[in-house]
Structure 1
């Protein structure tokens, strides 16, 4: 039944990882939910391990196309010739070994969604073919002579800087325009501080069930502190692997965060605990209190200190951008509407009381 199919998909292990209570996560999910209902291409931007394929799945299952197929193609994993045949299919005799007609991913996704992962790795000639599909809703099989009408919503994802690639001539600006009706930027885990422990507890509990361990996992204060100290360059994927490794090694009582699986068990103690000057390791004792010159003065409440930093950054970005707000937003790594919201909040402090 359609409802059962949707329900099974929405409760799959991958989709249940879309958990969080942080402002960054909730803001992203709100934008995603609105974008899901609009029949337009969507571009997902995010670092490795942030869950781009998961976000694409949610876009599909929250859309009116949820009963139709969602087909995924990793554009970085195929050569240009293989990618063309994979996407568009081929007719019999199109090339050596093509003994019969083969439908491609576009036709397989007809009525549903085609997810193009790592689209920044797609060759220019293939980008031109994708643009034609987006603009006219037709495609042509390799070796074919007649156009095939299709109805597919394209969701693309990348961690590459597509605007910079377009400026350099390695990505078609017209395709970028068509794909970016809405751009969803996944927040990295380091910007979702409140969610780290929540996700870690979920991953630990799931691993305990998989290993047949009785009882719920317990995360020690030391373990939780190490979770929050680590920058998580691999984002959710790295967190999941690390927590599952901890449960595998320690059972339900988690005290040490095993960040690297490559640490030699035969290393001497001095080698295991040594680290470059100024670099702390998650399984060592807490880092010493910094010297007085590096400590926060605590002369004002935290929220006032944060506001003062925001004002300085906004003012400096506006100065460097010669008061062009879009350029200032880019300098700060913010989207334009995010910059506008912060600027309105601090406008009087930046411009002075006479310029409100």
Structure 2
């Protein structure tokens, strides 16, 4: 197996500190716990730990614990004896711990494991032995365990939803990965790398870069899906742009965005004109008695700008200056809202985070 470190790019202090911690802990045959939001690269960090260790030439086995129910997960981890399950026939099956002997086992989504699984994991970590499902013979293994989760395990342990003794054994060292929003200086470094790679896949002769507006959007977006989301967004934007001679000026953050999306309000003029409106669908009528008309002459453009600015500021305040939520509240796309805010010089000091 070859390491896949294409996403492990960065120059920010928080990211470089993580790489330094990995280099420090990798040579030790101790368990490591990796904590981070979805999309921060926990699996890539686990791979790096393995390939920087003395076990680099041995097996690197991985398993997502959230993908299986308790009985299947137990069998996957520890194997089973012949006839232990219906349909298993007479064949004995080795589990991931046996396959990873002398190497590294990476368990993702550890917080989703049951008390039974956690108890058996604790025994393997402490004594290096276990029994297959349906068996009674102890099997000895030499496995370095690396686990990952996006949950707060100490809090789960306090609520008795995760074994405290297992947490103590796993947490010889804990590597907490910074979210992408805390690595703002790395965003364009990653975006350029992903774009160049996608351009090559599309056989484009050149990648002409991102426009200033596109770069601003990439830098200001809050990236709840972190590096994984950034990679998808950049690759999608390069693919849809499909003009290698021109800079990319449109970033496709949400591939589902459409006025025809099921469950969304369709606001096109043709739709309004072509369908009869029920009484509840009729737009509210302005009451002339309540309509205040300023005295003439007056500056209509300035009046409308002040009115629109007041609405924008009110909407931003009500949504804690979250641009995505504000755009939804105003029936605008994220790009449209950004354009209006920029038009009225309202972007300064606004945080686009969730």
Shorter-chain TM range is 0.7 to 0.9
| Structure 1 runs not aligned, ≥5 long | 297-356
Structure with the larger helix share: 1
Residue 276 of structure 1: aligned partner: 329
Q: Is the 8 A contact 1:42 1:154 kept in 2?
A: yes
Residue 190 of structure 1: aligned partner: 181
**Aligned to 2:67, what secondary structure does the other structure show?**
coil
Residue 300 of structure 2: aligned partner: none
Residue 255 of structure 2: aligned partner: 261
Q: Is the 8 A contact 1:115 1:156 kept in 2?
A: yes
Note closer, same or farther for the CA distance 1:215–1:265 as it changes in structure 2 (3 Å cut).
farther
Distance 2:202 2:228 in 1: 19
Residue 162 of structure 1: aligned partner: 153
Structure 1 residues 91-141: Cα deviation after superposition (integer angstroms, max 9, x where no partner): 112232222110000000000000010000000111000000000001111
Q: Is the 8 A contact 1:88 1:139 kept in 2?
A: yes
**Aligned to 2:80, what secondary structure does the other structure show?**
coil
Q: Is the 8 A contact 1:131 1:175 kept in 2?
A: yes
Structure 1 residues 184-240: Cα deviation after superposition (integer angstroms, max 9, x where no partner): 000000000110000000000011111111112311111100001100000001100
Distance 1:274 1:163 in 2: 37
The answer to whether 1:20 aligns with 2:10 is yes
The answer to whether 1:218 aligns with 2:209 is yes
The answer to whether 1:88 aligns with 2:144 is no
Where has structure 1 moved over 3 Å in runs of 4 or more?
Answer: 265-271, 277-280
**Greater C-alpha Rg:** 2
Q: Is the 8 A contact 1:229 1:282 kept in 2?
A: no
Q: How many residues align?
A: 283
Residue 64 of structure 1: aligned partner: 54
Note closer, same or farther for the CA distance 1:28–1:93 as it changes in structure 2 (3 Å cut).
same
The answer to whether 1:151 aligns with 2:157 is no
Q: Is the 8 A contact 1:201 1:217 kept in 2?
A: no
Structure 1 residues 229-267: Cα deviation after superposition (integer angstroms, max 9, x where no partner): 100000001100000110011133210111100111666
Distance 2:340 2:177 in 1: 31
When normalised by structure 2's length, the TM-score is: 0.75
More displaced 10-residue stretch of structure 1: 248-257 or 138-147? 248-257
Q: Which of 219, 226, 241 is matched with 1:235 structurally? A: 226
Distance 2:327 2:32 in 1: 47
| Structure 2 runs not aligned, ≥5 long | 261-265, 272-325
Residue 291 of structure 2: aligned partner: none
Note closer, same or farther for the CA distance 1:295–1:167 as it changes in structure 2 (3 Å cut).
closer
The answer to whether 1:50 aligns with 2:40 is yes
Cα RMSD of the aligned pairs, angstroms, is 2.3
